[in-house]
Amino acid sequence: MSESSKRLAQALDELGILAKKSLGQNFLVSDTVIEKIINQVKEFKPEVLIEVGPGPGALTYFLQQMNVPLTVIELDHVIAEYWRGKGLPVLEEDALKLDWNQFYSDKKTVFVSNLPYQISSSIVIDRSMEDYGIEHMVLMFQKEVAQRIRGPAKSEHYGLLSVIAQTFWNTALVSEAGPGDFKPPPRVASRVLSFSRIPTEIKKRPQFLTFVKTAFAQRRKLLKSNLSGLLKQKQLTEEQMVGWLADMGFKETVRAEELSPPQFVELYKKFGFE
C-alpha cells in the first residue's frame, strides 16, 4: 500500500466518510503523481497557496509543509470542518461562485488542485479572465480536457478552451494519472498541467472570450459566417474581414479551428474591440 493510500485510509477513518460521486470525488493515492505535483508547485516558489477541493488531503499534507499561507476551498461540509480542525483557513463555498479577488495581493500566488472534473474547464476560463492574481497553477484534469487546453490549431481537440488557455498562459505537462492512481478509480484517465501567466495585449478579456466563443459557435460554418453578427455590430463589411484574413495567409473559406491563438488576437484587434 502506498504512503498516500495509508494517509487516505487514516483521514477517511477520522472523517467517517466515503467519496461522493455527486461532488466528483476521486481521491488521489499515487505517491509518484503527488510527488510530481508538489515538486512543480515548489519550483514556482509560492508565497501564497490556494487549493480547491483538498478532500482528505493527498496534496494538502505536503502543501502545509511548505510553510507559506495556505487557504483551502471545500464544498463538502464534513471535509471543510475537518480542515478547520487542523487549523487551516477554509472557505466552504463553490469555487466557481467565489470572489477570488479576496486572495490577491502583491505576493506570488499559486493555485493547486486535483480538480473536480465538472468544474475544470470553467475554472481555467475564469482565471484567464483576470489580468492579476494567480501567477501559476498546477491542476489535474480529465485527460480529454487537458488535450483541449494544449491542443494545436487544426487538431481535433482545438477549440475555445485551447485559444483562451494558450492566449493567457504557458502550459506544460506535469504528469499523467491513470484510473488506478485514484480511489475509487474514475472511468477516465487524467493529466496534470502547469500554467504560468504570460503578458498579453488584450485588456478587455471578457470581450475577447465572447469573440472567440462566437468564432467557434458552429464549427462547420466558415469563420466569416460565424462572425457576421459582430461585423454588423462594428459596422464592418465582409470584404474587410476577407482582406484581413488574406493578409494573414488565409482564404475566405477558413474556419475558426485553423487560426492559432496569436492569429485570433490579431483578428480580434482588427475588429477594433480594444
DSSP states of 109-167: EEEEEE--GGGHHHHHHHHHT-SSSEEEEEEEEEHHHHHHHHPPTTSTT-SHHHHHHHH
Q: Which residue has the cell 487551516?
A: 88
Q: Whole-angstrom Cα distance, residue 236 to residue 268? A: 13
List CB contacts of 186: < 8 A, sequence separation 6 or more: 26, 117, 142, 179
Residue 28 assigned to a binding site: yes
Residue 26 assigned to a binding site: yes
User: Which residues make beta-bridge pairs with 165?
Assistant: none
In the chain, % helix, strand, coil (3-state, to 5) comes to: 45, 15, 35
Residue 74 assigned to a binding site: yes
Residue 13 assigned to a binding site: no
Residue 96 assigned to a binding site: no
DSSP state of 227: T
Annotated binding site for S-adenosyl-L-methionine: 26, 28, 53, 74, 94, 114
Binding site listing: 26, 28, 53, 74, 94, 114
